[in-house]
Amino acid sequence: MSILGDQAAAAVFDNRADADEAWGILSEGGVPATVVTDPGILGAYQVSVIVDRSDLEQAQGLLASFMQRRLP
């Protein structure tokens, strides 16, 4: 069992703005999600968008085009 139990990170970002946008996409798509900020070890700041494991595949599908746009 994972440390998150029945939840999983649908996406992980290095800034809150992208995580909030991802949360909005999931919310509009009907997938409940939570944004979790982790200050990280030695300042390795990250922001995760957490969903229920049962919604993970749908969440990743909804976020696919957003994640593609973020690529350099």
Give the C-alpha separation, 13 to 45, whole Å: 9
* The predicted structure's pLDDT at residue 30: 97
* The predicted structure's pLDDT at residue 3: 59
Q: What is the pLDDT of residues 14-65, one digit of tens each?
A: 999 999 999 999 999 999 999 999 887 777 889 999 999 999 999 999 999 9
- pTM for this predicted structure: 0.86
Q: Taking CA 70 as the corner, what is the angle to CA 21 and CA 14, rounded to the nearest 5 degrees? A: 65
* The predicted structure's pLDDT at residue 38: 87
Reading the block at residue 15, the tokens are 């800034």
Q: What is the pLDDT of residues 16-29, one digit of tens each?
A: 999 999 999 999 99
Give the C-alpha separation, 67 to 6, whole Å: 24
In order of start, what are the domains of the chain with their CATH numbers? 7-65 (3.30.70)
DSSP state of 14: S
Residue with tokens 């949360």: 23
